[in-house]
A = this chain, B = another copy of it.
Amino acid sequence: MATISEIAKAAGVGVGTVSRYLNNEPHVSEPKQKKIQAAIDELHYTPSAIATQLRSQTTKNIGFLVSRITNPFLAALFDAVETNLKARGYQVLVSQTHDDPTAEKRFLDQIKTHQLDGVIMASVEDADLVRQIAAEYPNSIVLLNEEIEDAAIKQVTLDHYQATLNGLNYLYQQGHRRIAYATGGDFPSLRHGQSRTQAYQDFYTAHQLTIDPNLIYPKRHGLKDGQMIGETIAQLNRAQRPEAIFTNSDEVAMGVIAAVQAAGLRVPEDLAVVGYDDQPMAQFAPVPLTTIKQPVRAMAEQAVALLLQGLNAKAEPVASKRDLQLTLVIRKSA
């Protein structure tokens, strides 16, 4: 594997000149340019990125952390982030936690070892750890799709509280009073979904209704989980059964729909269902899904801008908050 000094020798010039030529700097005479290029071609030379990284103390690598990329919403988020970052000359490294905090820790360690210039976290397992690392490297971390109560942490924030309220109120307008709620994490979660859960509680209070604890499904976020919830609901008798369910992800919603339909219930007549995210699949569900659309592109853009403005001195403009609207998309399921 040829090195820069071999090229220098072969071209009969100094290594500095080769370096300058490689980096398109001025002050390299025509004849030497030709000789250098000839040497490069002949020896099949390719500069070593690692050496450059060591020199420049920067890798141009950004880490992206997710619980699992098979979650379509997270995949869409990654898609947008990667496209964005690649266009700016960065490579993206993906790590999945599969809900394991140690995986998150190992991931974050890479910023300490300088393998990563920065990270975008679309999942967080251990909020305290994140706070701690963020305190040490405030410019290298940004949260996307997760929010932590901490002004010092860069994060993309959306008004999930209001969006949830909108969804719930829509259901209310349709005449539903017994509305079940399937959270994405634990209930109440300390982070993601906290504001959604808060909205659920406030909604009940505002309408002077009482929450039926049996209608809270603090399950995980998969299709299978939704299916289990749907089966549970289908077994309830008429009085116990909720009239509608607000879920925290389209996947859960689709699982619910499949299960209740299999049990002979109709959607939305017997059970109205509202999803969250507006995944592409949502409109192709057995009953097109009413859901809350997240502005994936804008979210990714803002996350990237937030991160890059911390890495580079030259501040990039951060996407405006105005683009970060969550909107209720009404379809046939509710």
Contact = CB atoms under 8 A, between A and B. Distances in A.
A113 B70 contact: no
Contact of A258 (B76, B86, B223, B284): B284
Interface string A53-88: 110010101000000111010011011001100100
A263 interface: no
Contacts of A49: 110, 113-115
Number of copies: 2
B110 A94 contact: no
Interface in A25-76: 46-51, 53-54, 57, 59, 61, 68-70, 72, 75-76
A70 B72 contact: yes
B93 A254 contact: no
B47 A113 contact: yes
A57 B49 CA distance: 11
A69 B72 contact: no
Contacts of A96: 79, 82-83, 86
A92 interface: yes
Interface string A249-291: 0000011001000000000000000000000110111100000
A331 interface: no
A288 to B, nearest CB: 9
Contacts of A109: 46
A4 to B, nearest CB: 13
